[in-house]
Amino acid sequence: MAGEGDGAMLGLAAGDTAGGAWELGYSAVTEQATVVAYQLIEHKRILIAPMVKAIGELDGSNDEEPVYRAESANFRAWLDRVSQGRAMPDEEPSLDGAPRAVPIGVALRREPKLLRDEALILAKLFHTEPTSVLAGVVTAGAVAASCYGQSGRDLIAGVIEIVDTSSEMIRPSPAGGPEAGDLMNELRGLLDHVGVGDGAEALALVTSGVGPGPWEQVKAGLLLAAPLVERPHVPIEQAAKIGGSALAAMVGGIVGARVGIRAWPWAFANDTWFAEIGRRLVRGPQEVRDLPIPYAVEHHLISGERQGLH
């Protein structure tokens, strides 16, 4: 173990940056995970109403300037519904829930049942589509396993165990598609491919039929994050090539939980902040009043960008 998971948020931000959704650093992917992390530091739970409010604040819900950067189309549509007073989950497949669940894996790494329940609560706030919900549970489980140094087949077996207890709590999509049992079988199939290190190869191994979608990217990301590698940044780079910022952030969170707080090969803003958030998720204290306000941090980052460009 290296810090029992305290490098997860730093790895997530590194992955988001590597994915390039926002060309000057990390994007809305990391911003959302930071809001989730703050709530978990304080309460060790996902509280739906405060979570919706906190997520909305960064979108300017208090008559302020929005500070989300390069948000996905799914997340943008969700934010628009929230601004109209309807925090309705999305029905389309999405990768967004994977990196969003990284802090849950750290904060609740010692409580697998609670980890599963809170990962489902968070996922269902944003999504109804089964694979999008499972993406969050998969990531939280993988991060938790990685906090204790698990890797390879052990890590994926731990994820399967967590997800298996979740399958009965996930409703099939009204539009059809695979059911939870089918998705479980797909995860079990990953055990035969542990060790792959190339992103395109991993994606090809988990894709059948039509082209790869978010669920295939989640499975490929899990394969990339599982092995112990000499250069921890390589799985993140490979994930960025096949899934952009969201997948690279997911893989970065899993790998970061295993390798701890460390310098990554590429620079991004507020790295010491993410390191401290990771430390608090692991060791406390359960206090955020002495930490920077997320909105203020992101507004300052955007203001600095604009001063430099205009």
pLDDT, tens digit, for every residue of 201-255? 999 999 987 789 999 999 999 999 999 999 999 999 999 999 999 999 999 999 9
Bigger pLDDT: 260 or 308?
260
pLDDT at position 72: 97
Mean pLDDT of 264-285: 97
Each residue's pLDDT tens digit, 103-152: 999 999 999 999 999 999 999 999 999 999 999 999 999 999 999 999 99
**pLDDT(309) > 70:** no
| Contacts for 300 with CB less than 8 Å, ≥ 6 apart | none
Mean pLDDT of 148-159: 97
Peptide bond into 178 cis (omega under 30): no
| Contacts for 298 with CB less than 8 Å, ≥ 6 apart | 31, 58, 67, 68, 69
Count of C-beta atoms within a 10 Å radius of residue 4: 19
Percentage, residues of the chain above pLDDT 90? 86
**Three-state SS annotation for the chain:** CCCCCCCHHHHHHHHHHHHCCECCECCHHHHHHHHHHHHHHHHCCCCHHHHHHHHHHCCCCCCCCCCCCCCCHHHHHHHHHHHCCCCCCECCCCCCHHHHCHHHHHHCCCCHHHHHHHHHHHHHHHECCHHHHHHHHHHHHHHHHHHCCCCHHHHHHHHHHHHHCCHHHCCCCCCCCCCHHHHHHHHHHHHHHCCCCCHHHHHHHHCCCCCCCHHHHHHHHHHHHCCCCCCCHHHHHHHHHHHHHHHHHHHHHHHHHHHCCCCCCCCCCCHHHHHHHHHHHHHCCCCCCCCCCHHHHHHHHHHHHHHHHC
**pLDDT(264) > 90:** yes
pLDDT at position 274: 98
**pLDDT(57) > 60:** yes
pLDDT at position 241: 98
CATH superfamily of 8-309: ADP-ribosylation/Crystallin J1 (1.10.4080.10)
**pLDDT(305) > 60:** no
Cα 47 from Cα 259, distance rounded (Å): 30
CA 283 to chain centre: 20
**pLDDT(306) > 70:** no
| Nearest residue to 112 (alpha-carbon basis) of 137, 76, 75, 78 | 137
Bigger pLDDT: 308 or 146?
146
Question: Which of the four pLDDT bands, split at 50, 70 and 90, describes residue 176?
Answer: low
Cα 37 from Cα 282, distance rounded (Å): 11
pLDDT at position 174: 65
Q: Rounded to the nearest 5°, which phi and psi values hold at 273?
A: -65, -45
Contact between 26 and 116 under an 8 Å Cβ cutoff? The reply is no
pLDDT at position 2: 87
Burial of 204: CB neighbours in 10 Å, binned 0-12, 13-18, 19+: middle
Q: Rounded to the nearest 5°, which phi and psi values hold at 262?
A: -155, 165
**pLDDT(184) > 70:** yes
Helix orientation angle between 130-147 and 112-126, rounded to the nearest 10 degrees: 140
Side-chain half-sphere of 9: how many Cα atoms within 13 Å? 30
Contact between 224 and 235 under an 8 Å Cβ cutoff? The reply is yes
pLDDT at position 173: 67
Q: Rounded to two decimals, what is the model's pTM? A: 0.95
| Contacts for 268 with CB less than 8 Å, ≥ 6 apart | 13, 14, 17, 25, 26
**pLDDT(48) > 70:** yes
pLDDT at position 77: 97
**pLDDT(40) > 80:** yes
Question: Which of the four pLDDT bands, split at 50, 70 and 90, describes residue 307?
Answer: very low
Cα 202 from Cα 212, distance rounded (Å): 11
- Whole-number mean pLDDT of the chain? 94
pLDDT at position 58: 97
